[in-house]
Structure 1
Amino acid sequence: MRIAIIGIGAMGCLFGARLAPLADVVMVGTWPEGLAALRERGITLADAQGERTIPVQVAGAAALPPCDLALILVKSYQTARAARQAAEWLAPQGLALTLQNGLGNDEVLAASLGAARVALGVTAQGAMLLGPGRVYHAGAGPTHLGVTPLTRERLEEVGALFRQAGLETHLTENITGLVWGKLVVNSAINPLTALLRVPNGALLENESARALMEAVAWETARVAQAQGIRLPFDDPAERVREVAARTACNRSSMLQDVLRGTPTEIEAINGAVVRAGQRLGVPTPINATLWRLVCALETTHPLPQI
């Protein structure tokens, strides 16, 4: 299988390192330092077992041969560009699979590629970028691929490859519920860790932070329930507590973005919840506050320390 992995951040490098030994993988990105590191030494993957380097191909200026799979792992605000790239390289029967955070990425891809060539998935793999081309696998978790009659056969092949690479993978017909389930968690944990600049587990240690986290989880869940979406859990507060405890030492992707001084995915996470709530008449005041606070954080230059 020929795979273009579009995105060379933490998740792109994690999936690239796992899939490159088993498939014809080419890494696609726009980050100059990241591309240079991948060309020079490949992907350096660190985990509990140690550190190893996996050689990978890197896309150059020349056009790629047609790809069977375009794995979309860019930030949500980069999806439109990734869709244009996938449109150039994807084979006629190829599939673009998004495992991105937030809402709306599959719709952006479908506008360029057609719905029959787009699949939506969700992953609980945890990864932290240590530097250009260097990634730490912070925690294993399942990946779910949403199947339709048009995509089932191709996704069965993708799922088999992922499992061969040691990535727990399942096919599901309730991908919308799983995406919203992850959104409940991300909307509650990501902005708070970014604003407080703490790892996930610290939210459980602070009474005010824990109360906010639980309230956001319920608020996002009510927006999902108003649409008739079946979430993969009954108690949103219990779920976010469990995730925060299980990933206590992890830095959320939004915290990593803030610490690097790069844009966050707040628009596709809490911003998307607010917009959905407005359409449905479901109040989302806490999501709205966190959305605005993170937007302000992105554009605020703090005073120098005295």
Structure 2
Amino acid sequence: MSSSPQLLDVLLVGYGAVGVMYTYFLENSGRARVTAVARGNYALVKERGINIESGRLGNHPGWKPFRTFNSVAEAVDRRYHYVVVTTKALPDVLPTSMLLAPLLSLEYMFPQPTYVLAQNGLGVEEDLYAASKARFAQEPVIITGAVFLDASLTDSRDGLVQGTMEKLLAGLYRGDESPAPTPEMTASLQAYVDIMKAGGSNASVAENIQCEKFMKNRWNAVVASLCTLARSPPPAMSVTPRLEEIVEGPLHATLQELTALGQALGYPITGEDAQFLTNRTLRGFSKTSPHLPSMLVDVQRGSPLEVEVIIGTLVRWGKKHDVAMPRPVQLKPTHDFAKV
């Protein structure tokens, strides 16, 4: 990639499936150059790049970003306009403020960037917002996103396999006591979305990003969790009429609990939304679909799970708003999907 000074420098942390896709979008735009922090697959990416096989991006063997490092600490040699975080949100394992500590240090001599959190879960912004505000005088600028993507890295972690589904909904994070966003913040959000779109992403600004994230999180909290507990993909829930009957009751009831929470949060969600997702889960997947929820993939690989931000936040919000939510913490399959 050209080192033209007109290009915006972007630091991307987390070189999994989302990270590879977003790096490609950013650089393909012709408006940005990306320094990628690849931790688990650094040696492979540095030496051979990533073999991209994508229905949306096409095939790109050995594709590499502008620069690749093994840690954030190695990459803090310049000003970044955006810092994009595509790691899993694991506040109980490695809080975002610790992951990005070199950027939040007073020793980082450049202006603070706009942070972009492209992560599953709810409340993922709180730790970074608090840490940044405690260290610097200015209000942090944090873009948060709801990511929809049918992609995964190969077992060797040097290849990306992706279909055609990709969408990013983005918006500014505002805490309970945050002031109204400034025109500069809004411009930074729009500029990031424009760059992603120019690179081929189906990105857009969401009118209410937290509502969009909540609606997406229902699938992760209920469907993905159930699949993970059962060690089976979504189509297994309805492999027989009897199994579908067994699963439908608790599945729909759990989604109804989240409907009640969404309403308490002021989101325009109804019982019809719960019924739609129930029907889509049980009757909307191809019986031969190879897609596995990322939470199930994490179990198979022995990786930490995003339980805290996908389920824990819901339970805490339920307590805060006096919404009874017993099922997200008790949900468990009473049958082996494969034996019913």
> Which residue pairs with 1:42 in the alignment?
49
How far apart, CA to CA, are the structure 2 residues paired with 1:144 and 1:179? Answer: 9
Matched, 1:239 2:273: no
- Out of 235, 238, 251, the residue aligned to residue 201 of structure 1 is 235
Given that residues 26 and 199 in structure 2 are in contact (C-alpha distance below 8 angstroms), is that contact kept between their aligned partners in structure 1?
A: yes
Given that residues 71 and 97 in structure 1 are in contact (C-alpha distance below 8 angstroms), is that contact kept between their aligned partners in structure 2?
A: yes
Structure 1's 68 and 233: CA in aligned 2 closer, same or farther, altered over 3 A? farther
> Which residue pairs with 1:251 in the alignment?
292
> Which residue pairs with 1:149 in the alignment?
181
How far apart, CA to CA, are the structure 2 residues paired with 1:38 and 1:144? Answer: 28
How far 1:286 moved relative to its partner? Answer: 1.2
The number of equivalent residue pairs is 290
SS of equivalent to 1:195: helix
> Which residue pairs with 1:297 in the alignment?
none
Unaligned runs of 5+ in 2: 1-7, 134-138, 173-179, 334-340
Identical aligned residues as a percent: 23
How far apart, CA to CA, are the structure 2 residues paired with 1:233 and 1:162? Answer: 34
1:164 alignment partner AA: A
How far 1:213 moved relative to its partner? Answer: 2.8
> Which residue pairs with 1:181 in the alignment?
215
1:203 alignment partner AA: M
How far apart, CA to CA, are the structure 2 residues paired with 1:261 and 1:140? Answer: 26
How far apart, CA to CA, are the structure 2 residues paired with 1:166 and 1:145? Answer: 16
1:58 alignment partner AA: T
Given that residues 167 and 203 in structure 2 are in contact (C-alpha distance below 8 angstroms), is that contact kept between their aligned partners in structure 1?
A: yes
Structure 1's 91 and 213: CA in aligned 2 closer, same or farther, altered over 3 A? farther
Unaligned runs of 5+ in 1: 295-306
- Out of 3, 12, 25, the residue aligned to residue 5 of structure 1 is 12
How far apart, CA to CA, are the structure 2 residues paired with 1:165 and 1:257? Answer: 29
How far 1:266 moved relative to its partner? Answer: 1.2
How far apart, CA to CA, are the structure 1 residues paired with 2:158 and 2:308? Answer: 27
1:63 alignment partner AA: V
How far apart, CA to CA, are the structure 1 residues paired with 2:109 and 2:17? Answer: 23
Matched, 1:192 2:233: no
How far apart, CA to CA, are the structure 1 residues paired with 2:205 and 2:109? Answer: 22
Given that residues 200 and 249 in structure 1 are in contact (C-alpha distance below 8 angstroms), is that contact kept between their aligned partners in structure 2?
A: no
Looking at secondary structure, tell me which structure has more helix per residue.
1
How far apart, CA to CA, are the structure 2 residues paired with 1:201 and 1:5? Answer: 34
How far 1:224 moved relative to its partner? Answer: 1.7
How far apart, CA to CA, are the structure 2 residues paired with 1:67 and 1:235? Answer: 40
1:143 alignment partner AA: L
- Out of 56, 59, 63, the residue aligned to residue 54 of structure 1 is 63
How far apart, CA to CA, are the structure 2 residues paired with 1:255 and 1:184? Answer: 16
> Which residue pairs with 2:98 in the alignment?
81
How far 1:221 moved relative to its partner? Answer: 2.1
> Which residue pairs with 2:321 in the alignment?
280
How far apart, CA to CA, are the structure 2 residues paired with 1:191 and 1:161? Answer: 34
Given that residues 185 and 240 in structure 1 are in contact (C-alpha distance below 8 angstroms), is that contact kept between their aligned partners in structure 2?
A: no
Name whichever of 206-215 and 180-189 sits farther off: 206-215
1:98 alignment partner AA: L
1:54 alignment partner AA: W
Larger Rg: 2
Name whichever of 77-86 and 150-159 sits farther off: 77-86
Given that residues 6 and 73 in structure 1 are in contact (C-alpha distance below 8 angstroms), is that contact kept between their aligned partners in structure 2?
A: yes
SS of equivalent to 1:124: strand
> Which residue pairs with 1:100 in the alignment?
119
2:97 alignment partner AA: A
Given that residues 43 and 133 in structure 1 are in contact (C-alpha distance below 8 angstroms), is that contact kept between their aligned partners in structure 2?
A: yes
How far apart, CA to CA, are the structure 1 residues paired with 2:103 and 2:294? Answer: 24
> Which residue pairs with 1:117 in the alignment?
141
> Which residue pairs with 2:304 in the alignment?
263
Matched, 1:215 2:260: no
Given that residues 129 and 136 in structure 1 are in contact (C-alpha distance below 8 angstroms), is that contact kept between their aligned partners in structure 2?
A: yes
Structure 1's 162 and 135: CA in aligned 2 closer, same or farther, altered over 3 A? same
Structure 1's 139 and 199: CA in aligned 2 closer, same or farther, altered over 3 A? farther
How far 1:220 moved relative to its partner? Answer: 1.6
Given that residues 215 and 237 in structure 1 are in contact (C-alpha distance below 8 angstroms), is that contact kept between their aligned partners in structure 2?
A: no
Normalised TM-score (structure 2): 0.77
- Out of 155, 161, 183, the residue aligned to residue 136 of structure 1 is 161
Structure 1's 233 and 176: CA in aligned 2 closer, same or farther, altered over 3 A? farther
> Which residue pairs with 1:300 in the alignment?
none
1:134 alignment partner AA: G
The CA RMSD measured in Å over matched residues stands at 2.6
